[in-house]
C-alpha cells in the first residue's frame, strides 16, 4: 500500500468522507472579516491587515470584469503563491464563473517555456505574472512568438514591481503582438489595485493604462498639492470599498492611522512614488520611503533599474541612498551573470547610460558587485533592509524574506563604511 510507504500518507479513498455534512450558509454583515493579509515586509515588520467580505468582492469584480474584461467564458491564470494577494484576486474569478488555473512550483521547470506551454495547453485567455518573470524570460532569450500559438491569450497582466519600458518592447516583439499588456499596481493593504488595465484604451510603453474606477488617486507633493506630469506621493483622497476594516490587535486603530493617514490627515498615503500624466497614464517608481534624494532631487529606484538591468552582463541590481557629507549618495549593487566579472569598463558604460537616459544626479557614486539581492517572499526587492544594515541598524523583518541570508552580504562593506 502506498500510504504505508509514505510517512503519514493517506489514500484518497480513505481521505474522502463518504457521509459529508451539509453545507450551511450564514447571512453575515457586509464588513464581516474575510481575510487577514500580511504586508510584504519591504519596510519593516509585516502588518496584519483584516479585509472585509463585501468591499473585497465589489473591488475585485470591478477589476476583473471591467478593467480586465474577464467573462464566464475565460480561463485565468496568475503565477502566485498563497502568500501574495494576487492569489485572493485570482480566486475571486470564481464569482464570475470563469475557469482558473493553479500552478505550484518553479515557472522555469522543466524549461523556460513551461508557462507558455501551459497557455496553449489550457487555452488561457488572461495570463498573470510579475515584472520579474517577464525580465527573466527576456534574459533567457525566450521567444514564444516563434515557438507557440498563444492564440487564446488576450491579456498579459503584470505586477509586483514596476514594468520597465524595455519589458514592453520584449512582450510585443517576442511574446505576442496583439496582446493587451496590463501592468497593474496596488497592494496587500487594499487587496486590489490603484491603477490597472483598460480594454478600451491604448497601451503606452512604460505606463499603466489608467487609474482604477472609483479610486480618487492623485500624486501629491510634500505640501499636499496635486501634481500632473511630476513625481509625487501616491494618495487616494476619497474612501474606497476595499480599505482594511482594521489591523489585528490594533487598539484604537493607532497602527492603522499611522500606516496610512499620518502624512496627510484624512487622506490615504500609500507610500509609492508615482507620476500621472496628461492622458491619465500612470508610472510607479518604487516605494517613496526608498526614494533617493541626492542634492535634494527625488529619484525613484525604478528609474535606475530600468537602465542598469538592460545590460546583458547584469542579472539583477539593487540601489540605495546613503547619507554622506550632509547629502545623500547613491550606491549601486550589481549581481552579474558571470560572478566576479565587475570592471571599470562595465561601470563606466552603465554610468554613461544612466547619465544620458536619466540625468547626472542619477549616476551612482559607488558601484559594487554582490552575490545576491534580497527579495520578499512575494518577489519584491528589499532596499530598505539593505539601507538599514549599511547604516548599522537592526532588520526586524527577516522572516518576510525569501532569502534572508543574502542580508549578510551587505554587512561591514569597507568601500562604503
- Count of beta carbons in the 10 Å neighbourhood of residue 4: 8
Residue pair 252/169 in contact (Cβ under 8 Å)? The answer is no
The torsion region of residue 327 among left (phi > 0), alpha (psi -120 to 50) and beta comes to: beta
Cell of 3: 500510504
Instruction: Look at residue 40 in the predicted model and tell me its pLDDT.
Output: 67
Residue 139 φ/ψ, nearest 5 degrees: -65, -30
Half-sphere exposure of 109 (CA within 13 A, CB side): 4
| Residue intervals in the chain for CATH 3.40.50.12780 | 31-216+239-267
**Nearest alpha carbon to residue 186 among 33, 60, 316:** 60
Predicted confidence (pLDDT) per residue in 187-204, tens digit: 999 999 999 999 999 999
Q: State whether the Cα torsion 7-13-19-25 is positive or negative.
A: positive
Q: Are 351 and 364 in contact (CB under 8 A)?
A: yes
The H or E element that residue 133 is part of is helix 131-139
| CATH number for the domain formed by residue range(s) 31-216+239-267 | 3.40.50.12780
Q: Give the number of residues written for the chain.
A: 417
Give which of 295, 287, 259 is closest to 384, Cα–Cα.
Answer: 287
- pLDDT higher than threshold 80 for residue 213: yes
Q: C-alpha distances in angstroms, 377 versus 51, 144, 301, 386? A: 21, 27, 20, 16
Distances (CA, A) of 106 to 21, 45, 64, 79, 111: 37, 27, 26, 10, 9
The position carrying cell 518577489 is 379
pLDDT at 406 over 80: yes
Burial class (CB in 10 A: 0-12, 13-18, 19+), 17: exposed
Q: Which residue has the higher pLDDT, 158 or 392?
A: 158
CATH 3.30.300.30 in the chain is located at 291-416
Query: In terms of Cα–Cα distance, which of 144, 277, 280, 262 is closest to 210?
Result: 280
Q: Over pLDDT 90: what percentage of the chain? A: 72
List the single range of 5-9, 133-137, 157-161, 168-172 with lowest mean pLDDT.
Answer: 5-9
Please, how many CA atoms are within 13 Å of residue 316, restricted to the half-sphere of its CB? 17
Grid cell digits, residue 339: 560572478
Question: What are the strands of the beta sheet with 327-336, ordered from one edge?
Answer: 314-324, 327-336, 366-369
Instruction: Name the average pLDDT for the chain.
Output: 92
CA atoms of 14 and 6, how far apart (whole Å):
15
pLDDT digits (tens, 9 = 90+) for 317-372: 999 999 888 888 999 999 999 999 999 999 999 999 999 999 999 999 999 999 99
Cell numbers for 181, please give them: 499588456
- 85: its cell numbers: 494577494
| pLDDT one-digit tens code per residue, 23-66 | 999 999 999 999 999 886 655 567 899 999 999 999 999 999 99
In Å, how far are 48, 68, 88, 102, 415 from 128, measured between CA atoms? 25, 11, 13, 11, 41
Which pLDDT score, from 0 to 100, does residue 42 have? Answer: 56
Contact by Cβ (8 Å): 164, 305: yes
pLDDT in tens, 60-119: 999 999 999 999 999 999 999 888 899 999 999 999 999 999 999 999 999 999 999 999
3-state DSSP call for residue 385?
Answer: helix
At 232-261, the pLDDT tens digits run: 999 999 999 999 999 999 989 999 999 999
Task: Give me the CATH topology for the region 291-416.
Answer: GMP Synthetase; Chain A, domain 3 (3.30.300)
CA nearest neighbour of 138 among 105, 180, 173: 173
CA torsion through residues 222, 358, 302, 416, sign = negative
Q: State yes or no: pLDDT of 380 exceeds 60.
A: yes
Q: Per-residue confidence at 1, pLDDT binned at 50, 70, 90?
A: very low
From the CB of residue 47, how many other CB atoms can be counted at a distance below 10 Å? 20
Amino acid at each position: 500500500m502506498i500510504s504505508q510507504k509514505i510517512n503519514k500518507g493517506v489514500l484518497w479513498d480513505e481521505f474522502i468522507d463518504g457521509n459529508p455534512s451539509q453545507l450551511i450558509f450564514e447571512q453575515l454583515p457586509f464588513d464581516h472579516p474575510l481575510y487577514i493579509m500580511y504586508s510584504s515586509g519591504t519596510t519593516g515588520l509585516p502588518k496584519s491587515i483584516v479585509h472585509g467580505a463585501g468591499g473585497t468582492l465589489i473591488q475585485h469584480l470591478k477589476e476583473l470584469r471591467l478593467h480586465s474584461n474577464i467573462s464566464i467564458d475565460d480561463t485565468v491564470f496568475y503565477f502566485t503563491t498563497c502568500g501574495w494577494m494576487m492569489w485572493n484576486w485570482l480566486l475571486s474569478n470564481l464569482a464570475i464563473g470563469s475557469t482558473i488555473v493553479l500552478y505550484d512550483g518553479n515557472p522555469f521547470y522543466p524549461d523556460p517555456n513551461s508557462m507558455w506551454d501551459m497557455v496553449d495547453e489550457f487555452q488561457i485567455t488572461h495570463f498573470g505574472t510579475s515584472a520579474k518573470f517577464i525580465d527573466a524570460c527576456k534574459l533567457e532569450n525566450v521567444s514564444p512568438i516563434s515557438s507557440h500559438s498563444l492564440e487564446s491569450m488576450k491579456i498579459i497582466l503584470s505586477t509586483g514591481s514596476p514594468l520597465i519600458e524595455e519589458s514592453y518592447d520584449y512582450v510585443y516583439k517576442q511574446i505576442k503582438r496583439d496582446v493587451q499588456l496590463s501592468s497593474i499596481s496596488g497592494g496587500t493593504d487594499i487587496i486590489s489595485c490603484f491603477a490597472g488595465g483598460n480594454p478600451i484604451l491604448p497601451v503606452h510603453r512604460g505606463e499603466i493604462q489608467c487609474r482604477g474606477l472609483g479610486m480618487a488617486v492623485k500624486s501629491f507633493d510634500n505640501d499636499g498639492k496635486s501634481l500632473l506630469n511630476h513625481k509625487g506621493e501616491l494618495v487616494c483622497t476619497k474612501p474606497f470599498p476595499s480599505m482594511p476594516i482594521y489591523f489585528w490587535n490594533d487598539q484604537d486603530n493607532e497602527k492603522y492611522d499611522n500606516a496610512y493617514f499620518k502624512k496627510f490627515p484624512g487622506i490615504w498615503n500609500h507610500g509609492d512614488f508615482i507620476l500621472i500624466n496628461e492622458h491619465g497614464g500612470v508610472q510607479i517608481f518604487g516605494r517613496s520611503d526608498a526614494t533617493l534624494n541626492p542634492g535634494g532631487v527625488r529619484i525613484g529606484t525604478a528609474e535606475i533599474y530600468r537602465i542598469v538591468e538592460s545590460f546583458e552582463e547584469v542579472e539583477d541590481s539593487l540601489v540605495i541612498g546613503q547619507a554622506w557629507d550632509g547629502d545623500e549618495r547613491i550606491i549601486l549593487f550589481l549581481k552579474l551573470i558571470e560572478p566576479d566579472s565587475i570592471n571599470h569598463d562595465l561601470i563606466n558604460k552603465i554610468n554613461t547610460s544612466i547619465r544620458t537616459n536619466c540625468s547626472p544626479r542619477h549616476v551612482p557614486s559607488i558601484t559594487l558587485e554582490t552575490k545576491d539581492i534580497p527579495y520578499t517572499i512575494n518577489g519584491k526587492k528589499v532596499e530598505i533592509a539593505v539601507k538599514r544594515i549599511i547604516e548599522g541598524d537592526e532588520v526586524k523583518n527577516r522572516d518576510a524574506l525569501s532569502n534572508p541570508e543574502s542580508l549578510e552580504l551587505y554587512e561591514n562593506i569597507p568601500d562604503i563604511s
